[in-house]
Structure 1
Amino acid sequence: MKKIIFLLLVFSSMHVISQQNVKGIITDKHGTPILIETNISIKGTDKKTLTDYKAEYSITANKSDVLVFAHPGYQSQEIKVGDKNVINVVLERETIQRNGPHKVVFIIVDGISTDMYYKANTPYLDAISKDGAFTEAYVGGKRGTYSETPTISAVGYNSLLTGTWVNKHNVYWNSILNPNYNYPTVFRLLKDSFPNKKTAIYSTWLDNRTKLVGEGLEATGNIKVDYHFDGLELNEELYPHDDQKKYLKRIDAEVARTAATHIYEEGPDLSWVYLEHTDDMGHLYGDSKQLYEAISYEDALIGLIWDATKLREEKTGENWLVIITTDHGRRPIDGKHHGYQSYRERSTWIALSKPIENTYFKNNKVSIVDIFPTITDYMGIPIPQHVAYELDGVSLTNTVDAFNLEATCYNGKYLNAKWLTESKNNEQAKIFISYSNNKKEGGIDNYKQIGEIDVQKRAFNAQINPPKKCKYAKLVLETKNHTINTWIKIKP
């Protein structure tokens, strides 16, 4: 009996000795850690573990064991342990055709100029851009013209939400004193056409929902956001305010975590995530280590939300488009403030989680107002004519027939219009003019067709007959796929 016990102890100790600790990190093909828990199991057993928040794992295994690495949306891998103590794994995305509804989450991360984006460590934004698309962009309207727009936070948000510059949406400052709700937000347009579709806002600033979207206001048709997580900055008991704005960093983390969880579990059709920490570090420190660390911090939060959309796609078959952008750049001299029209303050960027094929996106600097029609195009939201005629952007996912419409009027009656094209198609375009701006007050403008021309001509001349007291006219070029517009100064 003693001999049997002795032999069992020997075999048991040999088994323990043959075991070894194996650790590693799980990344995608771009080298980006896969944040949400990856399952690592020993094949043929019940033993398993999960990666931590750094996408790292540790497991005890025998040399003869085979580790199985599995993550939703990625191809599983099996690797024999052998003599290896470190096994880092690169998982490849599964290629799946999804036929579910198209859904969008757009993320505004505050105050990161293009040069700062390039300098910062942003592995998740880099991975999103490689899987999808990235482009430099601008805010601020057309410098020196009627549409010149302050490079200020709320102003930029509303340019995205309405697809218009400040001369239309009328938000000139963060105080948001008198928004012109006659230019509807993309949330209102969605609800007008599809009242049963769900919306969500996850934000470090309450005014985004209550003032910009205008929830519950008569002027916005009493629009209701179906789910919101915001207003935490007003709770000073849970988030005591400090001079270094650390409380807003904490709130950003809560906002991102809540957004990721709610998107994965409920899948609202249209969502907005707003993160503020980077702008605070910019105002406090300007071009600094603190600001670049903040950019990397926000990048990790963006990665969390992106992972949630991928898991949601895997679970439901839905098609998710993630759009990430910023609202303004920063002052050239030190990176601290913003609001004016310098190149750096106007210089922004846009990242999308889906590849973009149109040549306008690839060959031109796009703008924040292009996001509105991109969302409506991707989600199939119809745009009424009176809204379309006012939009200052074009879709980044659809064919762009013409862009950058400009027009001048000589001697109060001779019109000269010109535009640019990317498509080589010889499509007929219609040209309309209105001598009123009733839209500003919620009315209807009377547009009259004054011509039709091959869009490839890129120019149009006509004699017009404006009313005697008319100072400005509105010109619209309507093509097969979209419209573009400009204002014309009739009298000096």
Structure 2
Amino acid sequence: MPRLFSLAIVALLVAGSSLSAAEKSKHVLLLGIDGCRFDALTKAKTPNLDKLRENGIYSPTALILGDRYLKNDTVSGPGWGSINTGVWADKHNVQDNGFKEPKFDKYPHFFHYVKKSMPEAKTVSIINWTPIAQYIVSSADVSIDTKKGTSYAEADDDAAAAAIVELAKDDGPTAMMLYLGEVDEAGHAHGFHPTVPEYIAAIEHVDTLVGSVLEAIEKRTDQQWLIVVTSDHGGSGKGHGGGHKNPDILNSFLIVSGEAAKRGKFEKQVYIVDAVPTLLTYLGVEIDEAWELDGHAVGLK
């Protein structure tokens, strides 16, 4: 075969490969596991979360408080407020679980920015801690609260994951947020520690749900997903309030996973507020300084 002809074939194959990659639409999933300690996560049998970590970059010490503001309590309200908006509690003004005067009109859920940049994008939030749906979520085409009883439990997480699986399979939303709460519930009931069997069992159950979500996503070969996994706090004993000086509470974790993610372990300090700008940057949303985001895009190639 003439050399020029073979080179032409190679060029066409390379061009075809690039075109296939370019044709894939971009999608993001923010996966929140309430009250999950990283040391317990690594002790538990979690093949699906392990897979996400191996296919991306992670930090076992993503801080739930920033350097500028340390006054909010180390509980779910401020944590999920910061994770979903990319700003700290002095801006979104959720200091505890009371949600007295939130400022999510000025510092909105990240779906707002997705819709602003891509009006045709479909956004989906599936949670089972009601304040997230009631106060934080906005600009969602679908917002489902699967909470059934007085506290989030295994059944609520099962329903949340099942809803995400169906939506990912049928519609392939541009941006999804999935919250799973039973790990936190197990921590409050039995203890937040890798030596607590019930706490480990809850993490392992959540991992099976994550597996079902990943299976649905992976079937969409026409799509390229970035998945960011984090938690709102750790825990110590059977609680996590007032944990401003307790590393077991202050340290969450951050996993950025997908073809567009770097590999390995973060060398620099990362924070839970980095989740939103990372997701937005991957989607091609240009971040405006006027949004006053505290986080930064991390872990992308």
TM-score (norm 1): 0.53
Correspondences of 1:61-72 after superposition (within 5 Å): none
Structure 1 or 2: more helix by fraction: 2
Distance 1:337 1:257, change over 3 A: same
Shift of 1:98: 5.5
Distance 1:358 1:291, change over 3 A: closer
Q: SS of the residue aligned with 1:395?
A: coil
Partner of 2:102: 179
Shift of 1:352: 2.7
From 224, 228, 233, give the equivalent of 1:319: 224
- Give yes or no for contact 2:62–2:251 (8 Å, CA) kept in 1: yes
From 197, 204, 211, give the equivalent of 1:296: 204
1:209-230: CA deviation from partner (whole Å, max 9, x where unpaired): 22112x4xxxxxxx4x211221
Correspondences of 1:253-292 after superposition (within 5 Å): 253-286=158-191, 287=193, 288-292=196-200
- Give yes or no for contact 2:146–2:159 (8 Å, CA) kept in 1: no
From 36, 47, 61, give the equivalent of 1:123: 47
Shift of 1:231: 4.6
| Amino acid in structure 1 at the alignment position of 2:218 | K
Distance 1:301 1:107, change over 3 A: same
Greater relative contact order (CA < 8 Å, ≥ 6 in sequence): 2
- Tell me, yes or no, if structure 1 residue 206 matches structure 2 residue 130: yes
Partner of 1:159: 82
Q: SS of the residue aligned with 2:21?
A: coil
| Amino acid in structure 2 at the alignment position of 1:170 | N
Identity %: 28
- Give yes or no for contact 1:252–1:276 (8 Å, CA) kept in 2: yes
Distance 1:271 1:129, change over 3 A: same
- Tell me, yes or no, if structure 1 residue 230 matches structure 2 residue 132: no
From 134, 156, 168, give the equivalent of 1:251: 156
Q: SS of the residue aligned with 2:153?
A: helix
From 215, 233, 239, give the equivalent of 1:307: 215
Distance 1:129 1:353 in 2: 6
- Give yes or no for contact 2:123–2:175 (8 Å, CA) kept in 1: yes
Structure number, greater radius of gyration? 1
- Tell me, yes or no, if structure 1 residue 384 matches structure 2 residue 288: yes
Partner of 2:255: 351
Distance 1:195 1:230 in 2: 24
Q: SS of the residue aligned with 1:124?
A: helix
From 150, 153, 162, give the equivalent of 2:73: 150
Shift of 1:206: 2.8
1:322-365: CA deviation from partner (whole Å, max 9, x where unpaired): 1111110112xx2x100221111011112232253399x63113
- Give yes or no for contact 1:358–1:398 (8 Å, CA) kept in 2: no
CA RMSD after TM alignment: 2.1
Distance 1:304 1:101 in 2: 21
Could you list the runs of 5+ residues in structure 2 that have no partner in the other structure? 1-19
- Give yes or no for contact 2:89–2:95 (8 Å, CA) kept in 1: yes
Distance 1:117 1:304, change over 3 A: same
Distance 1:385 1:162 in 2: 14
Distance 2:164 2:69 in 1: 37
- Give yes or no for contact 1:125–1:351 (8 Å, CA) kept in 2: no
- Tell me, yes or no, if structure 1 residue 168 matches structure 2 residue 91: yes
From 291, 296, 301, give the equivalent of 1:394: 296
Shift of 1:192: 1.9
How many residues matched? 275
Distance 1:362 1:397 in 2: 7
Partner of 2:15: none
Distance 1:357 1:126 in 2: 15
| Amino acid in structure 2 at the alignment position of 1:130 | E
Distance 1:175 1:365 in 2: 29
Shift of 1:100: 1.9
Distance 1:162 1:252 in 2: 23
Distance 2:296 2:72 in 1: 18
Shift of 1:377: 0.5
Distance 1:398 1:258, change over 3 A: closer
Shift of 1:251: 1.2
Shift of 1:172: 1.1
| Amino acid in structure 2 at the alignment position of 1:276 | G
1:403-456: CA deviation from partner (whole Å, max 9, x where unpaired): xxxxxxxxxxxxxxxxxxxxxxxxxxxxxxxxxxxxxxxxxxxxxxxxxxxxxx
- Give yes or no for contact 1:358–1:396 (8 Å, CA) kept in 2: no
- Give yes or no for contact 1:138–1:347 (8 Å, CA) kept in 2: yes
Q: SS of the residue aligned with 2:273?
A: helix
Distance 1:132 1:266 in 2: 25
1:176-212: CA deviation from partner (whole Å, max 9, x where unpaired): 2211121222111112222221100111123212211
TM-score (norm 2): 0.84
| Amino acid in structure 2 at the alignment position of 1:160 | I
Distance 1:320 1:137, change over 3 A: same
Partner of 2:59: 135
Distance 1:251 1:146, change over 3 A: closer
Distance 1:148 1:395 in 2: 25
Shift of 1:393: 1.4
Partner of 2:274: 370
Distance 2:58 2:169 in 1: 24
| Amino acid in structure 2 at the alignment position of 1:188 | H
Partner of 1:195: 119
Distance 1:142 1:396 in 2: 16
